[in-house]
Structure 1
C-alpha cells in the first residue's frame, strides 16, 4: 500500500492506495474514477473544477460505483467499454483540522478505481463538465495532470498491468 499526504482546500488529507477486487463498505464510498485505455494511451478529460484528470466523480443515489464510473467515462470522455475494479484510495481525514462530524465526507472514505478498455469513442460534444478530451501516453500523465500523487501513480500502475492495449 502506498500513502501520500495532499492539501485539499487547505486541509491535510492522507491518501492510501489499496489494490483490491472487493469493495469497501458502500456507505463510505464517495466517488468512482478510472483509467480508460485505447491503443496504449490513457484518456484524460479537462474538467471545469479540476483541470485535466481521469474520468470520475461522485456516485448518484441508487448507483453502484461501477455504474458511476461508466456514466462518468461517457459524460466526460464520451467513451465506453468493459471495466474491472482495480482497488481504492482510502481518504483519511483524521489529521484534517477542518473536518467535523457534520462534514460532507466521512472521516474515512473511499474512492474506487477502475480499468477500462475503450470499445467505442463517440464524437466529443462537451455537454457536461468537460471541455476537452485527450489520449496521452500513460508514462507522460504527470505532464498533464496537476495534483498527481503517489497513490494515483500506484493506481495507474495497476491499470497498466491489466491493459491489453499497452505493449
Structure 2
C-alpha cells in the first residue's frame, strides 16, 4: 500500500481491490464521462465482478472524505500477457494527478512481477494522457463491432529495472 498527498492536500492511498469493491468499480466504469455519447456502447452492461478482482492485480486509489473512503480511481494489471486492462479515474477526481499516481503504482507492480513492458489498448480520448505519462505508441487495435466500432491507439509502457 502507498500513500501520497494530492495537490488539494488530501491523502490518496492505493490498496489492493477486494471483492466488496466490485460494485463501486463497476459504477465508476459505467458512469465515466469519457464513455458518453458515441462511446457508451463500450461500457454498457460492463461489470467489474469479484471474480475479475480476484483473478487480476486490481488496485484502487481511495481518498478519505466526510462519508469515509471514496474510490477515486482504479487499475487492473494482467500479467500474462502483460497488459494494463483497465484504468479509470472518477470524473470529479480528474486533473489532480490520480491517473499518474495509478500508472506509477502499476509500473512498480509490473517491475516487481519481473515484467519489462506492459501493453495498453487506449480509449481514444485517453490517448494524450498515455503520452503524458510516458507510454510509447506502438500501433492501432482495430475496431471490434458492435461493442467497440472504432479503432483504438495501442501503447506500451517500457518497465525499467531499478
- State TM-score, norm by structure 2: 0.36
- Structure number with greater CO (CA < 8 Å, separation at least 6) is 1
Structure-1-length-normalised TM-score: 0.35
